[in-house]
């Protein structure tokens, strides 16, 4: 599954790349994510929790981050699995930052271009063929909103993302489904309009 898009966040490009360099901080902005430790190779061990009403599905794995502050870019590579339903994944995310308003010194903005390539196995494989890209867009929108709020008021956010806080802040499948359906409908309508314009 491949997905490409971008997000717009407030702040100078130097401030934003510094935030991306703080993996523990960035985990706070991803719904349901928690950092649980680090390996000897520098990898980050953590989890992502998805809530299905009273039940939760927890994916555990590790991630390696490579950040080039001079080039304002980075690469995240991770893999994980869930004990339930044989769900496994590998993902590689690359990002590069650009000044969105280089002439605006009062309200600087940074555009983050993101490319994600994921290999999903087990129950996730069917999901990737159906609503995968739409889900990725919804999750990224939520991440962008939380990231922007964190840059605007960093003191309003907890110092760390723990398993307990991740469970409380887990992705809710019913709420996610509604937003995904809206995103899929938006994409279908955009394709239909493009066909009408060409015909």
Q: Could you state, in order of their start, the residue ranges of all structural domains in the chain?
A: 2-198
Cα torsion angle, 191, 196, 198, 199, sign: positive
CATH annotation of 2-198: 3.30.530.20
Per-residue b or e along 35-45, where b marks 16 or more CB atoms closer than 10 Å to that residue's CB: beeeeeeebbe
pLDDT band at 4 (very low <50, low <70, confident <90, very high): confident
Least confident of 15-19, 59-63, 118-122: 118-122
CA–CA distances in Å: residue 84 to residues 42, 50, 103: 28, 12, 51
Burial of 124 (0-12, 13-18, 19+ CB in 10 A): buried
Residue 55 confidence (pLDDT): 66
Structure tokens at 193: 């309009």
Residue 158 confidence (pLDDT): 47
Residue 166: is its pLDDT beyond 60? Answer: no
Higher pLDDT residue, 145 or 171? 145
How many Å apart are CA 1 and CA 137, to the nearest integer?
A: 13
pTM, two decimal places: 0.70
Residue 185 confidence (pLDDT): 60
- What's the residue count for the chain? 199
Per-residue b or e along 12-21, where b marks 16 or more CB atoms closer than 10 Å to that residue's CB: ebeebbebbe
The C-alpha angle 109, 48, 20, rounded to 5 degrees, equals 25
């Amino acid at each position: 599954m491949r997905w490409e898009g971008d997000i717009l966040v407030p702040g100078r490009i130097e401030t934003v790349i510094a935030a991306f360099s703080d993996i523990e901080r960035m985990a706070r902005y991803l719904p349901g994510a928690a950092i649980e430790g680090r390996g000897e190779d520098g990898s980050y061990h953590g989890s992502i929790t998805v809530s299905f009403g009273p039940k939760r599905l927890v994916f555990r794995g590790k991630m390696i981050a490579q950040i080039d502050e001079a080039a304002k870019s980075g690469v995240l590579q991770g893999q994980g699995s869930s004990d339930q339903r044989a769900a496994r994944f590998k993902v590689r995310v690359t990002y590069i930052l650009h000044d969105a308003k280089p002439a605006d010194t009062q309200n600087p903005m940074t555009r983050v271009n993101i490319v994600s390539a994921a290999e999903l196995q087990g129950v996730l494989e069917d999901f990737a063929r159906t609503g995968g890209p739409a889900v990725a867009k919804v999750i990224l929108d939520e991440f962008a909103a939380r990231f922007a709020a964190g840059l605007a008021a960093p003191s309003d956010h907890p110092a760390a993302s723990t398993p307990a806080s991740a469970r409380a802040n887990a992705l809710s499948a019913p709420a996610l489904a509604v937003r995904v359906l809206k995103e899929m409908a938006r994409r279908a309508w955009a394709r239909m309009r493009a066909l009408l314009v060409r015909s």
